[in-house]
């Protein structure tokens, strides 16, 4: 179980925050691997942000969604020259989801707008930048990619935004949650974080 003193959590949080801001600027360098790195940073940041005491759960959710919009926009910009209509539709669909959630101040609505764009982006990025021969296989079998990804992302959105399930790294014991982080989580589960 990974645990650090609060000061270390704070330093690591600032590093991760800077990485989440700076890394999307390098998406054109390697559209596949930079996208994977961005996804990993997005997946891990919660553990650091909430244990650092720099962010309440509510503030973390707000900052995280802004950073998500930012890095998904970077992915979208890099894939525009590929002229894949599906990616454009999925990106706009998720963007509409962000707007709807914040207009209605109800994060449960994310279940209607799962982030399928990012997960479909990855195989296209791989095909366009690493293995052009894979593009034909991908486009001919897109439903074999799209349906499982869509179902998986619906499940993830349900776990996070409907059930308010804890981050997998806390649930599985990889990271230790501080008592302050536990209090923040409890507040959020009581409904103190409608947009979180």
- The pTM for the full model equals 0.87
pLDDT in tens, the chain (196 residues): 778 888 998 999 999 999 999 999 999 999 999 999 999 999 888 888 888 888 888 888 889 999 999 999 999 999 999 999 999 999 999 999 999 999 999 989 999 999 999 999 999 999 999 999 999 999 999 999 999 999 999 998 898 888 877 666 666 667 776 777 777 777 776 764 444 4
pLDDT reported for residue 43: 87
Strand partners, 175: 2
pLDDT reported for residue 173: 67
**Burial bucket for residue 120 (CB in 10 Å: 0-12, 13-18, 19+):** buried
DSSP assignment, residue 162? I
Contacts 24+ apart (CB under 8 A), 98-107: 98/65, 98/68, 98/69, 101/65, 101/195, 102/65, 102/195, 105/194, 105/195, 106/194, 106/195, 107/61, 107/161, 107/193, 107/194, 107/195, 107/196
pLDDT reported for residue 46: 85
């Amino acid at each position: 179980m990974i645990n650090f003193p609060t000061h270390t959590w704070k330093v690591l949080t600032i590093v991760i925050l800077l990485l989440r801001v700076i890394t999307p600027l390098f998406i054109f360098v390697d559209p596949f691997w930079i996208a994977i790195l961005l996804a990993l940073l997005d997946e891990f940041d919660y553990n650091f942000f909430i244990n650092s005491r720099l962010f309440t759960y509510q503030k973390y959710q707000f900052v995280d969604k802004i950073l998500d919009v930012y890095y998904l926009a970077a992915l979208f910009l890099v894939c525009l020259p590929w002229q894949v209509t599906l990616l454009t539709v999925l990106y706009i669909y998720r963007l509409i989801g962000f707007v709807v959630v914040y207009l209605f101040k109800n994060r449960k609505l994310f279940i209607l707008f799962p982030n399928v764009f990012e997960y479909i982006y990855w195989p296209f990025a791989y095909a366009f930048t690493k293995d052009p021969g894979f593009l034909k296989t991908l486009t001919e079998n897109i439903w074999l990619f799209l349906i499982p990804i869509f179902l998986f992302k619906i499940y993830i959105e349900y776990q996070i935004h409907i059930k308010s399930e804890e981050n997998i790294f806390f649930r599985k014991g990889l990271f230790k949650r501080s008592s302050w982080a536990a209090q923040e989580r409890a507040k959020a589960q009581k409904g103190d974080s409608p947009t979180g």
